Amino acid sequence: MWAGMETRRWHALVRKLAKHASTDDFTIDVERAEFASKPTIDRVFDWIDASLAQRKPVLVHLDGTLNHFSVVAGLTTTRLELFDSAGHKFVMRSSCGMKRGFHIIRPKALLRLAVRPR
């Protein structure tokens, strides 16, 4: 659990918000990250990169130093670029990990949004 919000509640909240944000013209689908086995941080970055290449923003929980939910809007070789309500612009890739690091990314909490016409 992260500051009162467990992964299941986080997913339910995002699905509910996506449903309410959908219109008669388009729908917003929420997609979970699926990994065949226990992923490495590089596989997580690959999934984020593939999602962004498909024009699907990624919702991430940055546990650790920030303990903050954010949107990954871009990925470079050195950083994750954020579209963030608290004004955070980026986090360095080298500061991210799945068990250690300033920013801990939990693969099961990763979500991406896909907009499609109705």
**Widest pairwise Cα distance in the chain:** 44
pLDDT at 47: 97
pLDDT digits (tens, 9 = 90+) for 54-111: 999 999 988 888 888 899 999 999 999 999 888 899 999 999 999 888 999 999 999 9
Please state which CATH class domain 7-117 belongs to: alpha beta
Name the residue among 52, 29, 16, 25 with its Cα closest to residue 118.
25
pLDDT digits (tens, 9 = 90+) for 11-50: 999 999 999 999 999 999 999 999 988 899 999 999 999 9
Q: Which helix (H) or strand (E) holds 105?
A: strand 103-105
Confidence of residue 4 (pLDDT cuts 50, 70, 90): low
Q: Which helix (H) or strand (E) holds 80?
A: strand 79-83
